[in-house]
Amino acid sequence: PLPRPPDSEFRNKLATDTIRQHPELFKIVSPINVERFEKLLEGHPNRAFVQSVCAGFRNGFWPFARDRPDGYPDTWDESQSDINNPEHLEFLNSQILEEVGLGRFSPAFGPDLLPGMYSSPVHVVPKPGSSKLRLVTDQSAGDFSPNSLIDKRDIAGACLDNIRDLGYALR
């Protein structure tokens, strides 16, 4: 099964207070009809995995991260807004507006992160085999990246970057 957050995250007062005070910033939005998805997978032999995926679609996914070690800050901004290419900047801004409109990005809430939040840099890159662009988030950037909390042995061989990979994993 996919992991749930460690108990320490439920005791993280800074983060839980921010989530409780600003639920509009933490909506779970998915194009997946979870009830239908569950129904289609009723006969799947790995029930625990299916249930954990469905729980993720309903409540959000936990990225295999372990407890933050001593020395990790409570809040960290690694956003590194350094996009200089005008075409990339225009694409980024249009994507942000579209994602906010669809409820998949939070609306702006000020210049600073709220207590307990971490951010990662977003980049614009060409889609493979195309002249179109796409957004990517670098979850490994900086000293306190989300990926630095993941033991690589826990995800050996796994590729969970998109819904297609998830579909293959569910086979």
Q: List the chain domain ranges.
A: 1-66+150-171, 76-149
What is the C-alpha separation between 138 and 122, in angstroms, rounded?
6
Looking at per-residue pLDDT, the higher value among 60 and 36 belongs to: 36
- In Å, the largest CA–CA distance within the chain is 51
**Is residue 168 pLDDT above 90, yes or no?**
no
pLDDT band with cut points at 50, 70 and 90 for residue 170: low
**Percent over 70 (pLDDT), the chain:** 93
User: What is the pLDDT at residue 151?
Assistant: 83
| Tens of pLDDT, residues 39-54 | 999 999 999 999 999 9
Band (pLDDT 50/70/90 cuts) for residue 145 is very high
Cα angle 34, 37, 38 (rounded to 5 degrees) comes to 85
Residue 119 has φ and ψ, to the nearest 5°, of -130, 160
Question: What does the mean pLDDT of the chain come to?
Answer: 89
Q: Is the pLDDT of residue 163 over 70?
A: no
